[in-house]
């Protein structure tokens, strides 16, 4: 299954659930195509596939680089 972001609010004909703008949903590619095909009469563009990306590494704010000690 792939993830899709809702670009325009719509009600799923099968589940009767209303999907809100910005909501991320999981659909099979076949079901996503059905939704696109059914809503093309209303202007299309209701869902867009979310591109998966590599996880972003978090940086701790507490960690500060150690300063080199000066030798006298």
| Per-domain boundaries in the chain | 2-49
User: CA Rg, the chain, in Å?
Assistant: 22
Which tens digit of pLDDT belongs to each residue from 7-50? 999 999 999 999 999 999 999 999 999 999 999 999 999 999 99
pTM: 0.67
Which tens digit of pLDDT belongs to each residue from 48-69? 999 876 555 555 555 555 666 6
């Amino acid at each position: 299954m792939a993830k899709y972001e809702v670009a325009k609010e719509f009600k799923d004909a099968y589940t009767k659930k209303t999907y809100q703008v910005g909501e991320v949903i999981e659909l099979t590619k076949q079901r996503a195509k059905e939704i696109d095909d059914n809503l093309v009469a209303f202007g299309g563009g209701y869902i867009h596939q979310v591109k998966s990306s590599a996880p972003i590494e978090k940086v701790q704010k507490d960690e500060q680089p150690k300063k080199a000690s000066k030798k006298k």
